[in-house]
Amino acid sequence: MEELMIQVENVAKRYRLGMIGRTTLREEIQRKKAKRRNQEDPTVKIGRETDYSYGDTFLALDGVSFEVKKGEALGIIGHNGAGKSTLLKLINRITAPTEGVIRLNGRVASMLEVGTGFHPELTGRENIYLNGAILGMTKKEIESKMEQIIEFSECRKFIDTPVKRYSSGMYVKLGFSVAAHLDSEIMIMDEVLAVGDVAFQNKCISKMKEVAKSGKTILYVSHNMATIRNLCNRCIVLSAGKKIFDGEVEEAIEHYVTRDFSLNSETILDSLKRPYRTTALTHMKRITYLGGENGVFEMGDILRFQLDWSAKRAFDRMKLRLGIFTVSQIAVGVSFTEDFSVQEGENSEIFSLDISHLLPGKYCLELLMIELDDNESQVKHDVLHKDAVIFEIVASEEKKLFRAVNRDWGHYVLPETKCE
């Protein structure tokens, strides 16, 4: 049987709004809350108005339970304000839970922020000792790893210079090097870990991989799905303080990215939040897929859809810009419609886009209503969030080859190569 290293049992963390008397924290929590509710401007003091009054409580974590076995690398994903940082803070003993128990079976070392506790007046070497000790190493442990740390940091030449003379790049490199050589059974890592120039970032990632493979238990928080895939063998998804998924990494990422959106043949766009300000002269109301089944298309299909919108005035040269993204927000391609005219009031039009070369998978459709001005630059009249509209492509019987899509293939299959 495998050994349990972390057991989180029904953990909740409650913050009391406004009761602390310090505006900064209050604002921070309100900002968190704002983000959670998809508010556009997080600094707007929503608490002032109607939603939350003085003394209201806010659950940053709400009954979260999970277990981590020895050697597992668990990814924690979720949107801003979902409770990831709070969870790590609890496991890391920076603050105490309001309810529930966390049991740990090993020393916890956090690699949350590199270079925390560096003292500018001390030399690189002195700071390695200090930083290592802050992170929980004993002097002996640090001494035994000193050479490796200096080597990894690429700062050997300056190791006996006060760190205040370091460039910011050297500073973070040294910080990461100390954190990477921690020797605890449980390691908490954060996405900001990969630091420095590209070469050093790659070095960081492979070092983290190495740590993950060495049988240590890893908790990893990130918004970067590529590194999650790279490092983790299990994933939990947090949303609004609750655990909404626990399991296989790919599934978790899909779950995270598509959260509340289920595949539908019709999506109401009218009430959706717009990501940024536009002229708002047009307003998209509804998109209906024609063909396909509840938003699922077969590979080789044409994406036909009907779009309904309203306009405040008539336009002669309206265009629709369609951006295709993967669910992990990687851009696949873009397409523009021909010019079409728009009348004042309600409009409806049917469009078709050739998506026959897209590989199977779930995709997001970004919709923008634009007009080209005299300089051919885009005037945006209405814009939707990238992940507002989604569709899925599945491989049909005659395209069995594409059933098991290899991630390395990309998302687009080029036209067939001919024999000459």
Partner 1 sequence: MDNKSVEPSRWLMEIRPTDKRMNLNFKEIWRYKDLILLFVKRDFKARYKQTLLGPAWAVIQPLLTTVVFSIIFGSLAKLTTADVEGSTLKMPAFLFFMTGTIFWAYFSGTVSATSSTFIENVRIMSKVYYPRMVTPISTAFSNLISYFIQLALFVVLLVIFVVIGIAEVSLTWFSLMIPALIVQMMMLSTGVGILISAFTTKYRDLRMLVTFGLQLWEYLSPIPYGLSMIPERLMWLYMLNPITPIITAMRYAFFGTGYFNLVYYLISLAVTIVIFIFGMIMFNRIERTFADTV
Centroid of chain to Cα 203: 22
Q: Which of 17, 77, 82, 90 binds partner 1 (CB under 8 A)?
A: 90
| Residues in 106-125 at the binding interface with partner 1, rule: CB under 8 A | 106-108, 110, 112-113, 116-117, 119, 121-122
Contact 198, 226 (CB under 8 A): no
Shortest spacing between CB 126 and partner 1, in angstroms? 8
Contacts of 43 (CB under 8 A, 6+ apart): 27, 31
d(CA 195, CA 179): 12
Q: Which is nearer to partner 1, 96 or 198 (CB)?
A: 96
240 makes contact with partner 1 (CB under 8 A) = no
Shortest spacing between CB 98 and partner 1, in angstroms? 6
Contacts of 51 (CB under 8 A, 6+ apart): none
Contacts of 54 (CB under 8 A, 6+ apart): 17, 18, 19
| Residues in 16-35 at the binding interface with partner 1, rule: CB under 8 A | 20-22, 25
Q: Which of 27, 56, 62, 99 binds partner 1 (CB under 8 A)?
A: 99
69-74-80-82 Cα dihedral, nearest 10 degrees: -30
Contacts of 69 (CB under 8 A, 6+ apart): 2, 3, 4, 5, 217
Q: Which is nearer to partner 1, 186 or 395 (CB)?
A: 186
User: Side chain identity at 304, as an amino acid letter?
Assistant: R
Q: Which is nearer to partner 1, 4 or 244 (CB)?
A: 4
**Residue 341 exposure: Cα atoms within 13 Å on the Cβ side:** 4
The residue count for binding partner 1 (CB under 8 A) is: 50
Q: Which of 59, 130, 332, 353 binds partner 1 (CB under 8 A)?
A: 130
Interface segment toward partner 1; rule CB under 8 A; list 90-98, 274-282, 313-321, 323-331: 90-98
Return residues touching partner 1 (CB under 8 A).
Answer: 1-4, 7, 15, 20-22, 25, 70, 89-108, 110, 112-113, 116-117, 119, 121-122, 126, 129-130, 133-139, 162
